[in-house]
Amino acid sequence: MISRIEIYRLNIPLKAPVTIALGTIAEARNILVKIFTKDGLYGIGEGAPFWMIVGETQDSCLATARDFARLLLGKSVLDLDGNLRILDTFLTQNYTCKSAFDMALYDAAAKIANLPLYAFLGGTKRVITTDETVYIGSPEVMAEDAKAIQARGAEAIKVKLGKDPLEDIQRIQAIRAAIGPGLPLRIDANQGWNYVSAVQVLRAIEPYQVEYCEQPVKAWDYENLARVRANSPIPICADESLFTHVDALKLVRAQAVDYFNIKLSKSGGIHSALKIIAIAEAAGIPCMIGCMSESRLGITANTHLASARPTIVFYDLDSPFEHAVDPIPGGAVYEQHYQLHLPDAPGHGADIDADFLKTQECIVVN
């Protein structure tokens, strides 16, 4: 039974601010949830409220988490469906906060089953190779960033666009000129274009080996998302248009995209992500797994899910590259910079450094 829940601010400084079409962040302001059973076992989860996408902040997540924690006290930690239904019934949306509780519950349940999370999810362990992101800057600066990523041995580069259509074309031209042919580019406009500019950019950059484009238009604009797909030479991937399985079903019906981008902090966690994946499998839509500003703890849980579900074929799990510190013992380990290797410990296998945690604000509900 759940006897105590600890909720923490999780503030992780970045090496430098990062910019996407929707804004700039200078620090990862996440939340951490530890769910304890009466036997002393605990599960740990992280949510990354990228407020400009999910509409949640660290402060709003902390307030919501207090209420969620009170609802779960005394419940069986193994009742995943029941516990998460309680949260959904109590409060709609608030997916990032829910994702932290979801991750902690799955971690605890897998520990009780004495299984690594990928096995608890019915999958096997495989190496997951992430791309690395070039954030928005001048074409010249982005080209230099791409060259550095190429030199580190990346198998694909993700490029943030969506500020200005003509300059976005120049950005891709400069990057391809700097790195030469062969290394795939994956672009993400983060809703920064309209239908006309999206088609303009995508047709102009067709020669530059772009694997797909994420979220070219506004999240709510399914009609124009489908129109872009119909007129683009480059495949289209839903990101901000896809939060839950309900969105996934709508996207399939609209024939709006070629790929789904699943993020645990956006979807509400593993429980919801599995429903999205089931719809994707039925519709023949390959998926990618993405991230917000998670530490290696959150990235580890994402990697377990990716390992367990072969429908996930693209991996964008690079947020810890931007962090100035890594307070996570255990968990998935980056080898050769881009390969994520999972542990075989029960649960997801990641934790947080106790001394680092003492520096973070804590709320206890018992």
Give pLDDT, residue 212.
98
What is the percent of the chain with per-residue pLDDT over 90, rounded to a whole number? Answer: 95
223 in a known ligand binding site: no
Residue 248 lies in a domain: yes
* 263 tagged catalytic: yes
Under the banding of pLDDT at 50, 70 and 90, the label for residue 22 is confident
Under the banding of pLDDT at 50, 70 and 90, the label for residue 200 is very high
For residues 156 and 221, state if they share a domain: yes
Residue 282 lies in a domain: yes
Q: How many domains does the chain have?
A: 2
| Residue 87: pLDDT over 80 | yes
Q: What is the CATH number of the domain that holds 50?
A: 3.30.390.10
Which is catalytic among the residues 34, 111, 263, 266?
263
Which is catalytic among the residues 34, 111, 160, 266?
160
For residues 148 and 99, state if they share a domain: no
Name the pTM for this structure. Answer: 0.96
For residues 104 and 182, state if they share a domain: no
For residues 22 and 170, state if they share a domain: no
Task: Give me the mean pLDDT over the 113-142 stretch.
Answer: 97
Under the banding of pLDDT at 50, 70 and 90, the label for residue 19 is confident
Residue 346 lies in a domain: no
For residues 231 and 321, state if they share a domain: yes
* 160 tagged catalytic: yes
Residue 238 lies in a domain: yes
For residues 152 and 247, state if they share a domain: yes
3-state SS record for the chain: CEEEEEEEEEEEEEEEEEEECCEEEEEEEEEEEEEEECCCCEEEEEECCCHHHHCCCHHHHHHHHHHHHHHHCCCCCCCHHHHHHHHHHHCCCCHHHHHHHHHHHHHHHHHHCCCEHHHHCCCCCCCEECCEEECCCCHHHHHHHHHHHHHCCCCCEEEECCCCHHHHHHHHHHHHHHHCCCCCEEEECCCCCCHHHHHHHHHHCHHHCEEEEECCCCCCCHHHHHHHHHHCCCCEEECCCCCCHHHHHHHHHHCCCCEEEECHHHHCCHHHHHHHHHHHHHHCCCEEECCCCCCHHHHHHHHHHHHHCCCEEEECCCHHHHECCCCCCECCEEECCCEEECCCCCECCECCCHHHHHCCCEEEEC
What is the domain extent for residue 72?
2-114+353-365
264-300 pLDDT, tens per residue?
999 999 999 999 999 999 999 999 999 999 999 999 9
Give pLDDT, residue 20.
87
The residue among 143 and 163 whose pLDDT is bigger is 143
For residues 93 and 178, state if they share a domain: no
88 in a known ligand binding site: no
For residues 83 and 135, state if they share a domain: no
| Residue 197: pLDDT over 90 | yes
For residues 25 and 146, state if they share a domain: no
Give pLDDT, residue 199.
98
Give pLDDT, residue 25.
84
Residue 335 lies in a domain: yes
23-60 pLDDT, tens per residue?
888 899 999 999 999 999 999 999 999 988 999 999 99
214 in a known ligand binding site: yes
For residues 160 and 303, state if they share a domain: yes
For residues 22 and 140, state if they share a domain: no
127-137 pLDDT, tens per residue?
999 999 999 99
Task: Give me the mean pLDDT over the 66-77 stretch.
Answer: 98
Residue 347 lies in a domain: no
Q: What is the CATH number of the domain that holds 236?
A: 3.20.20.120
Residue 348 lies in a domain: no
Task: Give me the mean pLDDT over the 161-172 stretch.
Answer: 96
For residues 276 and 219, state if they share a domain: yes
229-261 pLDDT, tens per residue?
999 999 999 999 999 999 999 999 999 999 999
Give pLDDT, residue 158.
98
